[in-house]
Amino acid sequence: MSGDSGAVLAPPGVQRDGGWATRGRLAGHVAIVTGGTRGLGLAMATAFLQEGASVICAARRETSLADLTAVHGDRVRVATVDVCSAESVQSLMDGAMRQFGRVDILVSNAGVSRNGKIVDLGEREWREVLDTNLTGAFHCTKYVVPCMDAAGGGRIINISAGMSSRVAPGAAAYSASKAALEMFTRASAVELAKKGILVNCIAPGFVNTGMYEPLRDDERLRSRYERMMVSGRPGEPSEVAAAAVFLASAEGSYVNGHVLEVNGGLLWS
Ligand SMILES: NC(=O)c1ccc[n+]([C@@H]2O[C@H](COP(=O)([O-])OP(=O)(O)OC[C@H]3O[C@@H](n4cnc5c(N)ncnc54)[C@H](OP(=O)(O)O)[C@@H]3O)[C@@H](O)[C@H]2O)c1
């Protein structure tokens, strides 16, 4: 295990009275963030590193995270994975166990969006969205459980979206995948509670990174979506990352099966 102190730590699912400091809240813990190479995933990985965790940033493409490595050294690892493939996810978990000997936190963040009205949407695009956003989280949950079991517990955080419960024409595949992911979160929470594994979901609104950027740069779409934002602005990646740190840390030890909307207030369309 990778704790800076080398001390044996309780898994993050178990809170020891007085045993947790307000800084370094994830010290010694090991996190996997799928889609952790850019956008929201990278923001959450960075926040976990700042809280003392070791983090594996996993995505399909090889990416150099030289800036992060310069600051956090070998607590940062980059791994390739395609969450659509069970074999690929299993080998991600095997690699994590080889490198760190434990996995305490999983963020199933890898996601794609393919827009198109239902009558126009190709079956290929539909499957790509469902396979990545929903089946990908199923693979990651299924294969991380033995690792967490070995550590005595853990935290799983799935990344849904405000569109899981709001309708936008052309977003049927994305919205359906995220709504199903929220139900999968609740089902996982019930099934894994006895293992000390807490499963929660963050549903971000529009966040100033990643897949929001094409909307932000399109005047017509931006004004349509800005009307939904009660706070009058998109969120910052760090504002979503702060919620992930809360759910991953001892402070979130009595939150389970919850969908946490982090959207500054979002109107129903
Ligand atoms: N940005 C927002 O406003 C917003 C709002 C609500 C929800 N979200 C959710 O937040 C998550 C991250 O979104 P983002 O905006 O940061 O998107 P992004 O910048 O497009 O990043 C997506 C990440 O997922 C990885 N990925 C995609 N398919 C994958 C696969 N099959 N296997 C492994 N990794 C894969 C990508 O890397 P590779 O391409 O190299 O694989 C990339 O690292 C998504 O689940 C999204 O639905 C975002």
Where are the domains positioned within the chain? 30-262
> Per-residue confidence at 221, pLDDT binned at 50, 70, 90?
confident
For the chain, strand residue ranges (E) read 30-34, 54-59, 76-80, 105-108, 154-159, 197-204, 259-262
Pick from 33, 34, 38, 131 the residue to mutate for probing ligand 1's pocket: most ligand atoms within 8 Å of its CB. 38
- Mean pLDDT across the stretch 245-259? 98
pLDDT at 35 over 80: yes
pLDDT at 247 over 80: yes
Assess contact for 46 and 244: CB atoms under 8 A. Answer: no
Bridge partner residues of 201 (DSSP):
158, 259
Strand order of the β-sheet with 197-204 is: 76-80, 54-59, 30-34, 105-108, 154-159, 197-204, 259-262
Q: How many CB atoms lie within 10 A of CB 253?
A: 16
Residue 72 CA to residue 50 CA, distance in Å, equals 8
Active site residues: 174
Give the nearest ligand 1 atom to 209 CA.
1
Query: Which of 13-17, 82-86, 165-169 is predicted with the least confidence, judged by mean pLDDT?
Result: 13-17
- Determine if ligand 1 sits within 6 Å of the CB of residue 84: yes
- CA-proximal residue: ligand 1, atom 46 (nearest): 111
> Average pLDDT over the chain, rounded to whole?
92
- Mean pLDDT across the stretch 119-148? 98
Q: Give the rounded percent of residues in the chain with a pLDDT score beyond 70.
A: 91
User: How confident is the model at residue 153, as a pLDDT?
Assistant: 98
Higher pLDDT, 13 or 52: 52
User: How confident is the model at residue 98, as a pLDDT?
Assistant: 98
User: How confident is the model at residue 163, as a pLDDT?
Assistant: 96
Write the pLDDT tens digit of every residue in 75-133: 999 999 999 999 999 999 999 999 999 999 999 999 999 999 999 999 999 999 999 99
Higher pLDDT, 23 or 178: 178
Give the nearest ligand 1 atom to 234 CA.
3
Residue 59 CA to residue 140 CA, distance in Å, equals 12
Please state whether 232 falls in left (phi above 0), alpha (psi between -120 and 50) or beta. Answer: left
- Determine if ligand 1 sits within 6 Å of the CB of residue 13: no
pLDDT at 143 over 50: yes
Give the nearest ligand 1 atom to 59 CA.
34
- Mean pLDDT across the stretch 184-197? 98
Residue 183, φ and ψ in degrees, nearest 5: -70, -35
Q: How many CB atoms lie within 10 A of CB 73?
A: 10
- Determine if ligand 1 sits within 6 Å of the CB of residue 33: no
What are the tokens at 86?
């069970």
Residue 139 CA to residue 16 CA, distance in Å, equals 31
User: How confident is the model at residue 12, as a pLDDT?
Assistant: 56
- CA-proximal residue: ligand 1, atom 30 (nearest): 82
- Determine if ligand 1 sits within 6 Å of the CB of residue 132: yes
- Determine if ligand 1 sits within 6 Å of the CB of residue 103: no
- Ligand 1 centroid from CA 210, angstroms: 7
pLDDT at 18 over 50: no
Which architecture, in CATH terms, is 30-262?
3-Layer(aba) Sandwich (3.40)
pLDDT at 208 over 50: yes
> Per-residue confidence at 15, pLDDT binned at 50, 70, 90?
very low
User: How confident is the model at residue 62, as a pLDDT?
Assistant: 94
